[in-house]
Structure 1
Amino acid sequence: MTNLRAAATAGLAALTVAVPQPALAAPQRPNTYVVSREPGVLPEGIAVTRDGTMYVTSVGTGAVYRGDTRERVMRPFLPAGSDGRTHAAGVHVDRLGRLFIAGYDTATLFVHAPDGRLLAKRVAAAGAALNDLVITDDAVYVTDSTSGVLWRAAIDGGEVGDLTPWITPAAFPAAPGFLNGIVATADGRVALVADQGTGEPGTERLWRVDLRDRTVTAVEVTGGQMGADGLLLDGDRLYGVVNFPDGRGGWSFAVNLAVLDPDRRTARVVRQSHPAGLEQSPTTLARDADRLLWVNSQLNAATPTPPFTVTQVPGLR
């Protein structure tokens, strides 16, 4: 879920660092998807599988929508409010096809089978705001925007354990402000966690979390900010949906692309997408083969108005 954070973005357009691009995929896919035409949906999280199945959550109602990236219109998959899921934020799909859904202020992690059956509900502490998550081979880690805790539930085959506070605020070099997006390296050893800060310019951070040693250090970020909402890790490339003042009294949203060092201790922002405004308020992103898609939440729009959509990120792949 987006929390408006200020940060400097000057100088990005002048950078000319070459960034490798993924191979092209099949054409003829829409660049705009209709998640819902119902009022109050406010889409938030997105997951796209290798076969092009797309899931989008609703932070407004808790519904989850499913579609195909070759088709323009998505359809309801998990009804609003079902299983106590009145709000839904981050969503990811594991290698078994199970959906893991962060229930935001329901303080609950929901796990569903590919056919939609509820497999597990794991509850954090009362008042937790479970925002985003990442799945490794042996666990799922969930950010809590309210308390600054990183929660963990062990995964053993088909079993999902209880949520436990794995990293507490005391482990951070500075008190976390608003933990949000999270990604992990392929070996499951290191997580990168976006902190959107307190709202004051310069308070946003990107944290490097050693998930085994349970230690936290700040990533040295240059060339821009990575205190993002949603994050996407692709090898040594880190994408993040960021927001910043537009210079006219409003806010803009864009995707920043940073190149990481091999140990994930430094991040250099090298490119930025074309911006979107408050009327879109993009929250997070996912890769669909050769392109990026982001969710137009309308969370900060003056009057959120259907249809609610997912669109291709402009000017960046």
Structure 2
Amino acid sequence: MAPTERSFARRTLLIGAAALTGTALPAGTAHAAGAAPWPRRFPLPDGFRPEGIAIGRAPYAYFGSLANGDVYRASLATGRGAVVARGLGAGHPSVGLRVGRRGRLFVAGGESGEIRVVDARTGETEQVYATGTTFVNDVVLTPDAAWFTDSFAPVLHRVALDRHGRPGALRTVTLGGDWEQGPDFTANGIERTPDGSALLLVNAFANGGGLMRVDPGTGLARAVGLGPARLPNGDGLLLLGRTLYAVQQWQNAVDVFRLDAAGTRGTAVTRVTDPRFRIPTTVAAWGDRLYLPNARFDVDPPRPDTEYDAVVVDQV
């Protein structure tokens, strides 16, 4: 095991705590006294086709476009926003994304097979990695790496990060153990375990859909015990402490689990639904709120004038 892998658990715990400190505010502090309430729904550009969302250390949400790879930034305080990074065009979507240090966005490139690193401050694409696979779907950041799922191949893609968060070499980790690769979309959302010792992946195929706990050094996967709960439409994951939010897109729901520290078992807590959900895909947090883009996959084919939005619900 490489030195970077040995330090995975300890350093992930440290950065995870710092990230939560940077983005989580006490309940009721979402806006200043006397100011207008922060919106609980805001529009995204027509025809944008959002899928991923990321929120960093400031109250702004970044959304990736399936249409052309653009990245849109919206103020959580006002709901207003603009495209801050132009994509590479049709066939180069932005699917899952996360905010790293110094405003770097790590972007999963979907069917392009690309991983992109974008400077959200300048809009420039700093680096493009070609994975050689067919659908790079979602991403999570740890102190040493950016980890990407691939929906049509039993692999994870790892982009090394130095101590300043700058991206380095790309390598592929093959998934084994309990991993079962289905004939269609299989891997989707990705997170870390509460203790930082491993990764959690949605596997929408195995045993009717659920979670896998993956050793980042070996790729060995073990099914997470969730009792009778299943994630057949599992998409984005969000871990806050030991609470895991799992978006079930076509069910228009977010399932909430309480995990043990190692991420080997989980207990279903509740299911969050909302009449404003229109096939949400991913979720990010700020303060005591959860933000979800509505992907509207039921609009087929999507049109340039199709309306899209993001909605806000309370954390459990």
Equivalent position to 2:188, from 174, 180, 191 = 180
- 2-structure distance, mates of 1:270, 1:22: 23
Contact 2:247–2:253 (CA under 8 A) maintained in structure 1: yes
Q: Which TM-score applies when normalising by structure 2?
A: 0.81
RMSD: 2.4
Match of 1:247 in 2: none
**CA displacement 1:2-27 (0-9 Å, x = unmatched):** xxxxxxxxxxxxxxxxxxx9731324
Partner-residue secondary structure (3-state), 1:96: helix
- 2-structure distance, mates of 1:50, 1:89: 21
- Give the structure with the higher percent helix: 2
Equivalent position to 2:248, from 224, 227, 242 = 242
Farther-moved stretch of structure 1 (96-105 vs 179-188): 179-188
Equivalent position to 1:26, from 24, 30, 35 = 30
1:299 CA displacement: 1.5
1:95 CA displacement: 2.7
- 2-structure distance, mates of 1:222, 1:23: 32
Taking the TM superposition and a 5 Å limit, the aligned residue runs for 1:302-317 are 302=300, 304=302, 306-313=306-313, 316-317=315-316
Match of 1:142 in 2: 148
- 1-structure distance, mates of 2:173, 2:275: 35
Contact 1:254–1:276 (CA under 8 A) maintained in structure 2: no
| Mapped pair 1:105 → 2:111 | yes
Contact 1:241–1:256 (CA under 8 A) maintained in structure 2: yes
**CA displacement 1:223-279 (0-9 Å, x = unmatched):** 523452000011111000014xxxxxxx532001100012210011111112558x8
Q: Which TM-score applies when normalising by structure 1?
A: 0.81
**CA displacement 1:50-84 (0-9 Å, x = unmatched):** 320110001122111012101122211122436x8
**CA displacement 1:61-116 (0-9 Å, x = unmatched):** 2111012101122211122436x872110010113321101010111111012322
- 1-structure distance, mates of 2:120, 2:65: 18
| Mapped pair 1:294 → 2:292 | yes
Number of equivalences: 279
Partner-residue secondary structure (3-state), 1:230: strand
Partner-residue secondary structure (3-state), 1:273: strand
| Mapped pair 1:194 → 2:207 | no
Contact 2:194–2:239 (CA under 8 A) maintained in structure 1: no
| Matched-pair identity in % | 29
Runs of 5+ in structure 2 lacking a partner? 1-23, 32-36
1:188 CA displacement: 4.3
